[in-house]
Amino acid sequence: MLNLTVAGITVRATLGRRRAFLFAVPAVILIVLTLVLRASHPAAGAAWPDTVLGTFGFSVLLPLTALIIGTGVLGAEIDDGSVVHLLATPVRRADVIITKFAVAVGLTAAFAALPELIAGLLAPHSGKLAVALFAGALVGSVVYSALFVFLSVVTTRAIAFGLLYVAIWEGALSNVVGGVRILSIAHYALGVANAIDPDQNLQAGLGLSTSLILGAVITVGGLYLATRRLETFSLAGDPA
Amino acid sequence: MSSIIEFRNVSRWYGNVVAVNDITMDIGPGVTGLLGPNGAGKSTILHMIAGFLAPSRGTLTLDGTQPWKNPDIYRRLGLVPERDSVYAFLTGAQFVTATAKLHKLPEPSRSAAWAIGLTEMAEAQDRKIATYSKGMRQRIKVAAALVHDPEILLLDEPFNGMDPRQRLHMMDLLSRLGDEGRTILFSSHILEEVERLSGTIQVMVAGRLAASGDFRAIRRLMTSRPHVFHVRTTDDRRLAAALVGRDYTHAVELTGKGLQVRTSDFGAFCEQIAVITRDENIRLTELLPTDESLESVFGYLIAN
């Protein structure tokens, strides 16, 4: 169950940190870039909307925004110790995880999926593509958030591991080794987008059902494991 | 005294490092001080009671229930952690009210106002915690821990950063809460704090429970260590001569302000000093145990 008190504190904490600047920048870049290209290359059939909205949007904007937000909603509190004030209450640990996850999804959607939609609508003749990418980005927001919230509970180096996953696994390996895509959230998001608006330049290599099923498995599995881990959250003592 | 918190052969280790070693102790209502130097295992003890660490061995119960992986204990337990991290972007009132809401209290604002009043933070409650001094942060943490009126309150080094006035107020508050029947357990490495606030102590040294019970009783049990008294009479030299011949007198020293008597038997000395002064026709004007501080207890325990 969503806990509104936890959600309120989490939103304020996430937007109030210096790192909020980091996840706002890619969204602004995407929209500004779209405006510039629309002015300089307004012709119908131009290839840049696929590159900017698809490649930049799904390979940079979405995963990085999700990484910063997803690892921060709970991980920052664990790092600075303030999470103790939340955990020293009878709130169910599953509720804590669900709420943190929901906030991460909402903020990632606001700072990645929504800019993707806005940029898509600003691009010439890309209305359907914009909606498709928006839907894909929403799915990506959900799955990425589950993964990064999980990482933030199990390790204090969640950002490092998240970056390795995004840059090495998804960015490099999945474009070279086809089988790697089966564990690539960016490709699930593209799979959904392609199912709505098939685009030759944005091939996901995964069908809609595969993308949704694998995305659901990672989301549910990540949240379950994060809850189990939070139930055994320990405070370091003082070894004699 | 019925015990609320029970440790039975509890040990806790981190890899090869033993933080708490085979502790058996009972803690009941009232104020209990957990005393020991840094690294003695005090925080580990508190974290285990608060359900934030599992014992590696042994059993630990709060009124029969195990705290580990049991968030329901927080309905009756409040924790004031040592770490100074709170939600600094909230005001004091928002922080305590949010805690009341997390406890699902029926009237969170009223409960928060009550707890803030207890800790004398009403004037600063509308300021962001980021602007608070360390002592104020400590007090707002105590308010948050008290907001659901818990039966058990755990405080890890609660007086850190408090000025003397705040410290006295907090001591009064904890004493009052203890007198009302709550179980208050606080850790400290400052002997004076424990001595002033708590008659019952648990002394931790290097992960072991070095002593447990009433502070003065513990002191008296250590008969092998000489006790030092400062004595003033109408005739110090005559009393010194009378004491020198006694078995329990370890040493007598004439100082400019009276006698310094070291005795190996606390009970016998206290009993006999009145008899001797009466028999010698000396008037006793001052009898002061000079090493009743926790410092001396502590030093002795560590040395032994």
Indicate the residue of A16, A88, A238 with minimum beta-carbon distance to B43: A238
Would the pLDDT of A238 be above 60?
A: no
A49 is a domain residue: yes
Specify the pTM.
Answer: 0.83
Of A154, A136, A155, A156, the C-alpha closest to A66 is: A136
Q: What is the mean pLDDT of residues B136-160?
A: 93
* Per-residue pLDDT, B125: 94
The amino acid at residue B26 is: D
* Per-residue pLDDT, A239: 47
* Per-residue pLDDT, B127: 96
A189 is a domain residue: yes
pLDDT in tens, A130-180: 899 999 999 999 999 999 999 999 998 999 999 999 988 888 887 777 777
A238 is a domain residue: no
pLDDT tier for residue A18 given thresholds of 50, 70 and 90: confident
Indicate the residue of B44, B50, B86 with minimum beta-carbon distance to A88: B50
CA-CA distance, A195 to B151, in Å (whole number)? Answer: 58
B10 in contact with chain A, both atoms CB, cutoff 8 A: no
Would the pLDDT of B220 be above 70?
A: no
Contacts of A8 in chain B (CB under 8 A): 98
pLDDT tier for residue A49 given thresholds of 50, 70 and 90: confident
**Location of structure tokens 């909205």:** A53
Percent of chain B with pLDDT over 90: 56
A209 is a domain residue: yes
B90 in contact with chain A, both atoms CB, cutoff 8 A: yes
Q: What is the mean pLDDT of residues A234-239?
A: 68
Contacts of B39 in chain A (CB under 8 A): 238-240
- Picking from A30-34, A72-76, B221-225, which range would have the lowest pLDDT averaged per residue? B221-225
C-beta atoms of B42 and A12 within 8 A: no
B302 in contact with chain A, both atoms CB, cutoff 8 A: no
pLDDT in tens, B274-298: 899 999 999 999 888 776 555 566 6
* Per-residue pLDDT, B165: 85
Contacts of A81 in chain B (CB under 8 A): 81, 83, 85
pLDDT tier for residue A44 given thresholds of 50, 70 and 90: low
CA-CA distance, B111 to B105, in Å (whole number)? Answer: 8
> Yes or no: is domain B5-219 CATH 3.40.50.300?
yes
* Per-residue pLDDT, B224: 56
Q: In this predicted complex, what is the ipTM? A: 0.88
Asked if B254 contacts B237 with a C-beta cutoff of 8 angstroms, the reply is yes
* Per-residue pLDDT, B188: 87
CA-CA distance, A138 to A114, in Å (whole number)? Answer: 9
* Per-residue pLDDT, B303: 64
CA distance to partner chain B, nearest, from residue A237 (Å): 4
C-beta atoms of A240 and B38 within 8 A: no
The amino acid at residue A131 is: V
CA distance to partner chain A, nearest, from residue B11 (Å): 12
The alpha-carbon radius of gyration of chain B (Å, integer) is 23
What are the structural domain ranges in chain B? 5-219, 222-303
* Per-residue pLDDT, B204: 87
CA distance to partner chain B, nearest, from residue A234 (Å): 5
In the A/B pair of chains, how many CB contacts fall below 8 A?
107
B122 vs B210, which has greater pLDDT?
B122
Indicate the residue of B40, B79, B98 with minimum beta-carbon distance to A240: B40
Give the 3-state secondary structure percentages of chain B, helix then strand then coil, rounded to 5: 40, 30, 35
Q: What is the mean pLDDT of residues B85-104?
A: 95
Count: domains in chain A: 1
pLDDT in tens, A90-100: 999 999 999 99
pLDDT in tens, B224-280: 567 788 999 999 999 999 999 898 898 999 988 889 998 878 778 888 998 999 999
pLDDT in tens, A194-229: 899 887 777 767 889 999 999 999 999 999 999 999
B38 in contact with chain A, both atoms CB, cutoff 8 A: yes
Mean pLDDT of chain B: 88
A236 is a domain residue: no
* Per-residue pLDDT, A240: 45
A184 is a domain residue: yes
Burial class (CB in 10 A: 0-12, 13-18, 19+), B23: buried
A25 is a domain residue: yes
Contacts of A87 in chain B (CB under 8 A): 52, 71
Domain housing A215: 4-231
Would the pLDDT of A48 be above 90?
A: no
CATH code for the structural domain at B222-303: 3.30.70
CA distance to partner chain A, nearest, from residue B288 (Å): 36
Residues of A with CB under 8 A from a CB of B: 3, 5-6, 8-9, 12-13, 16, 80-82, 84-93, 231-240
Asked if B174 contacts B119 with a C-beta cutoff of 8 angstroms, the reply is no
Task: Calculate the CA dihedral of residues A153, A156, A162, A165 and round it to 10 degrees.
Answer: -100
C-beta atoms of A82 and B87 within 8 A: yes
Q: What is the mean pLDDT of residues B120-133?
A: 93
What is the DSSP secondary-structure string of A125-183? Answer: T-HHHHHHHHHHHHHHHHHHHHHHHHHHHH-TTHHHHHHHIIIIIIIIIHHH-GGGGGG
Would the pLDDT of B221 be above 70?
A: no
B72 vs A176, which has greater pLDDT?
B72
